Structure 1
Amino acid sequence: MVAPKILALAAFVALAACQHAGGSFCDVEKPNRNPVEDMTPTESRSALAHNLKGAKLCGWRP
């Protein structure tokens, strides 16, 4: 009975170790510099939101 409990605990610990993404937004993201002409309207709105977030959090400039 003890072995399944230990195995389950080890599995939970191993899974919990995988939860961290590894870095802040500013460490892992870059500004989106794709030409607007090559994007759909949805993609351009998403890129704008991404770049505005980076400008606010990371100090990205045009």
Structure 2
Amino acid sequence: MKMLMLVLCLTLAGCCTTSGANDPPEPQVVVKTRIVDTACDWTRPIYVDKADVLTDDTAKSILAHNRAGQKVCGWKPKSK
């Protein structure tokens, strides 16, 4: 019985492989996300004429837009 177990173990051990031991490593895929802000390419400051009639909310929105453009895009005030 012991001899049969020994033969069985040796037979099974012969079936084992070391798969991947000699295989070249898998190539690694590296994904990098790059954010490109193009808003400064297509947005411009909003200028208001003396004839324009604005609500308070519209004036606040224009001011917020222009201040954001100054900060992010480097817009300069229009020289008089």
Same fold, TM-score > 0.5, yes or no = yes
Q: Which runs of 4+ in 1 moved over 3 A?
A: none
- Structure 1 regions of 5+ residues with no counterpart? 1-22
Q: TM-score, normalised by structure 2?
A: 0.44
* Bigger relative CO (Cα 8 Å, ≥ 6 apart): 1
Report the equivalent of 1:15.
Answer: none
Which moves more between the two structures, 41-50 or 29-38?
Answer: 29-38
Q: How many residues align?
A: 40
Report the equivalent of 1:35.
Answer: 49
Deviation at 1:60, TM superposition (A): 0.5
Deviations 1:34-56 (A, max 9, x none): 23752111100000000000000
Structure with greater helix share of residues: 1
SS in 1 for 2:63: helix
Aligned-residue sequence identity (percent) comes to 38
SS in 1 for 2:62: helix
- Structure 2 regions of 5+ residues with no counterpart? 1-36
Computed over aligned residues only, the root mean square deviation of the Cα atoms, in angstroms, reads: 1.7
The answer to whether structure 1 residue 49 and structure 2 residue 64 are counterparts is yes
